[in-house]
Amino acid sequence: MIKTIVIPQNNSYNLAIPSNYIGKKIEILFYSLDEVMEEKVVTPKKTMADLWGRISIETGDELNKEVEEGRKSWEERLNKQF
Protein backbone atom coordinates (compact mmCIF):
# COMPACT_ATOMS: atom_id res chain seq x y z
CA MET A 1 0.00 0.00 0.00
CA ILE A 2 1.19 3.47 -0.82
CA LYS A 3 -0.19 6.52 0.96
CA THR A 4 0.92 10.09 0.60
CA ILE A 5 -0.41 13.55 1.35
CA VAL A 6 0.00 16.26 -1.28
CA ILE A 7 -1.12 19.83 -1.86
CA PRO A 8 -2.05 20.10 -5.53
CA GLN A 9 -1.18 23.32 -7.33
CA ASN A 10 -3.78 22.85 -10.09
CA ASN A 11 -6.67 20.54 -11.02
CA SER A 12 -4.55 17.69 -12.40
CA TYR A 13 -2.04 15.35 -10.77
CA ASN A 14 0.25 12.78 -12.36
CA LEU A 15 0.43 9.42 -10.56
CA ALA A 16 3.21 6.89 -11.01
CA ILE A 17 1.80 3.37 -10.57
CA PRO A 18 4.31 0.83 -9.19
CA SER A 19 4.98 -2.04 -11.60
CA ASN A 20 3.68 -4.65 -9.13
CA TYR A 21 0.26 -2.90 -9.24
CA ILE A 22 -0.04 -3.12 -13.04
CA GLY A 23 -2.96 -5.36 -14.03
CA LYS A 24 -4.47 -5.29 -10.53
CA LYS A 25 -7.59 -3.55 -9.36
CA ILE A 26 -6.51 -0.53 -7.31
CA GLU A 27 -8.43 2.19 -5.50
CA ILE A 28 -7.58 5.85 -5.83
CA LEU A 29 -9.21 8.28 -3.39
CA PHE A 30 -9.19 12.07 -3.31
CA TYR A 31 -10.49 13.84 -0.24
CA SER A 32 -9.60 16.94 1.69
CA LEU A 33 -8.14 16.29 5.13
CA ASP A 34 -10.13 19.32 6.32
CA GLU A 35 -13.35 17.48 5.41
CA VAL A 36 -12.33 14.40 7.36
CA MET A 37 -11.53 16.43 10.47
CA GLU A 38 -14.88 18.26 10.25
CA GLU A 39 -16.89 15.04 10.34
CA LYS A 40 -18.60 14.54 13.66
CA VAL A 41 -18.56 11.25 15.46
CA VAL A 42 -22.14 10.02 15.54
CA THR A 43 -23.05 8.02 18.59
CA PRO A 44 -25.89 5.56 18.08
CA LYS A 45 -29.18 6.56 19.66
CA LYS A 46 -30.39 4.63 22.64
CA THR A 47 -33.19 2.15 22.16
CA MET A 48 -35.57 0.57 24.62
CA ALA A 49 -33.35 -2.52 24.58
CA ASP A 50 -30.47 -0.44 25.99
CA LEU A 51 -32.56 0.20 29.11
CA TRP A 52 -33.32 -3.47 29.77
CA GLY A 53 -32.59 -4.24 33.41
CA ARG A 54 -31.97 -0.61 34.29
CA ILE A 55 -35.55 0.56 34.74
CA SER A 56 -38.54 -1.05 36.38
CA ILE A 57 -41.12 -2.97 34.38
CA GLU A 58 -43.69 -0.30 35.21
CA THR A 59 -41.48 2.51 33.92
CA GLY A 60 -40.71 0.46 30.81
CA ASP A 61 -44.42 -0.10 30.19
CA GLU A 62 -45.10 3.64 30.59
CA LEU A 63 -42.32 4.54 28.17
CA ASN A 64 -43.49 1.96 25.67
CA LYS A 65 -47.06 3.31 25.90
CA GLU A 66 -45.80 6.86 25.23
CA VAL A 67 -43.80 5.65 22.23
CA GLU A 68 -46.82 3.84 20.81
CA GLU A 69 -49.03 6.91 21.31
CA GLY A 70 -46.41 9.11 19.64
CA ARG A 71 -46.19 6.77 16.65
CA LYS A 72 -49.97 6.63 16.35
CA SER A 73 -50.18 10.44 16.48
CA TRP A 74 -47.44 10.75 13.86
CA GLU A 75 -49.15 8.27 11.53
CA GLU A 76 -52.46 10.12 11.91
CA ARG A 77 -50.78 13.40 10.96
CA LEU A 78 -49.14 11.80 7.95
CA ASN A 79 -52.42 10.25 6.81
CA LYS A 80 -54.16 13.65 7.01
CA GLN A 81 -51.52 15.18 4.73
CA PHE A 82 -52.06 12.60 2.00
Query: What is the b/e burial string over 7-30, where b = at least 16 CB atoms within 10 angstroms of the residue's CB?
Result: eeeeeeeeeeeeeeeeeeeeeeee
Residue 13 forms part of a structural domain: no
Amino acid in the structure at residue 16: A
Cα torsion through 28, 31, 32, 36, rounded to 10? -120
Domain housing 58: 48-81
Residue 32 forms part of a structural domain: no
Residue 16 forms part of a structural domain: no
Distance in angstroms (rounded) separating the CA atoms of residues 23 and 45: 44
pTM value > 0.75: no
- How many independent structural domains does the chain possess? 1
Query: Tens digit of pLDDT for each residue in 23-61?
Result: 999 999 888 888 766 556 778 888 777 877 888 888 888
